[in-house]
Amino acid sequence: MKTLKDKLSKHTLCVHEGSRPDEYKGINTPIYTSTSFGYLDTDERYYPRYFNIPNQQAVIDKVSALEHASDGLVFSSGMAALSTVLFSLLNKGDHCIFQSGLYGGTMNLILCEFDRFGIEYTLLQNNDIVTFQKALKKNSKVVYIESPSNPLLSITDLRKVSEFCKNSGCISVIDNTFASPVNQNPIDSGIDIVIHSATKYLGGHSDICAGIAVAGKKYIDRIKRTSVNFGGSLNAMMCYMLERSIKTMAIRVEKQNYNAGKIAEFLYQHHQVKKVYYPGLPDHQGYEIACRQRTGFGGMLSFELADLNAVTFQKGLRLIKPSMSLGGIESTICAPAVTSHKLVPKNQREAEGISDQLLRLSVGIEADADLIEDLEHALKQK
């Protein structure tokens, strides 16, 4: 039976879901600053590191509802979320399959930490389902994906991956940061665990560092046992900031989707632009899958300049800020070759399609015409 929650739209869930009552009838969740809570006459043992204080629960309930999950955990960064999830599911001697095109920090975690703990892994060369199947070993436990990927926005078929995992007894985990819960709900495609760097679209104002993991209760209970030991929980103040930010997420992301679509079309026809990577363009590698598994194409896009120098181009921008990170209300741009992929050797980078001329744009909520005019001006630089 559908409850009221299932019928409410994401816009409404963003605003209302999870809010905790205020005894003075204020309409916002109060910030409960205590780290010490009474324990007599109650079975609950409240403590920030146990992921159960009211401000953490408010955020978890909101994001769980948006992602169609039954429970979750809120962490102090996206990396805290994804490292805790992985280390709670994988034991010494287990094997993990990672899709290609992962976030740089995730790659670093795998390359620097996994060997030390005796965890085996395979980094895939491409994300065809056959490649996943070929990587399967007797000790494979977890399949980890990220769709769309960074920076080329490649799309992995979530339903195929989840079927593969169900048939092989693996747990599927997705980093859903780039899509946001507004544009993609992987649990609906059968994925088990969804992670977000809340630093990006959930926070949305480039001023919060946080992470989220949501899933069915069975998985969250298991992850929580390890999370309590790793201790990467988020404090009440930041939880409140995050709760407040998510209230506007649906309208922010809707505008970002719209702007990014307009900008992708503009760049696509511009003679100074060699290639545009945006899942909403019909010639994108994953366009058809994206149409099936997403409700919006997102606010991230990448493009390659024809012969204009990337630095000259960025210096010609007056509105769009050359800066790292993404997902804020302001448009930002960066060259992956000198930021997120700086440590990847040049020939390997270029083989993956990440040239010095590639730029990754995180589209904000400004007027689309102003953003296009800014890009047009910068594309005229010599």
Rule CB under 6 A: is residue 245 a binding residue for ligand PLP? no
Tell me the closest approach of the beta carbon of residue 147 to ligand PLP, in angstroms. 10
Instruction: Give catalytic status of residue 258 as yes or no.
Output: no
State which residue has the least CB distance to ligand PLP: 78
Nearest approach, Cβ of 158 to ligand PLP (angstroms)?
15
Inter-residue contact 266 to 326 (CB < 8 Å): no
Q: Name the one range near ligand PLP by CB under 6 A: 114-122, 172-180, 268-276, 357-365.
A: 172-180
How far is it, in rounded angstroms, from Cα 169 to Cα 90?
14
The stretch near ligand PLP (CB under 6 A) out of 3-11, 194-202, 247-255, 275-283 is: 194-202
| 211 contacts ligand PLP (rule: CB under 6 A) | yes
Q: Which of 32, 46, 103, 219 is catalytic?
A: 103
**Torsion over CA: 215, 217, 223, 229 (sign):** positive
Residue 164 near residue 132 (C-beta atoms within 8 A): yes
Give the contact letters, 334-373, x = binds to ligand PLP (CB under 6 A), - = no. Answer: ----------------------------------------
With binding defined as CB under 6 A, does residue 197 bind ligand PLP?
A: yes
**Hey, what long-range contacts does 40-49 have (CB within 8 A, 24 or more apart)?**
48/233, 48/235, 48/236, 49/228, 49/231, 49/233
Q: Does 99 bind ligand PLP (CB under 6 A)?
A: no
Residue 303 touches ligand PLP, criterion: CB under 6 A: no
Asked if 200 is an active-site residue, the reply is: yes
Residue 99 CB, shortest distance to ligand PLP, in Å, is 12
Indicate whether 199 belongs to the interface with ligand PLP (CB under 6 A): yes
Phi, psi of 186 (to 5 degrees): -60, -25
Give CA–CA dist 123/98, Å, rounded: 5
24 is catalytic: no
Q: Which of 20, 49, 222, 244 is catalytic?
A: 49
Q: What's the CA gap between 188 and 328, in Å, rounded?
A: 26
Residue 380 a catalytic site member: no
Q: Tell me how far apart the alpha carbons of residues 364 and 371 are, in angstroms, rounded to a whole number.
A: 9
Per CB under 6 A, the list member of 88, 172, 177, 331 interacting with ligand PLP is 177
Pairwise CA distance, residues 267 & 277, whole Å: 10
Cα–Cα dist 57/234, whole Å: 11
For residue 78, state whether it binds ligand PLP (rule: CB under 6 A): yes
- Distances, alpha carbon 63 to alpha carbons 13, 38, 45, 248, 267, in Å: 9, 28, 23, 13, 34
Q: In the complex with ligand PLP, which residue's Cβ is closer, 261 or 336?
A: 336
Q: In what helix (H) or strand (E) does residue 146 lie, and over which residues does it extend?
A: strand 140-146
98 near ligand PLP (CB under 6 A):
no
Binding site for ligand PLP (CB under 6 A): 77-79, 103, 105, 146, 150, 175, 177-178, 197, 199-200, 209, 211
Which residues are tagged catalytic?
Answer: 49, 103, 175, 200
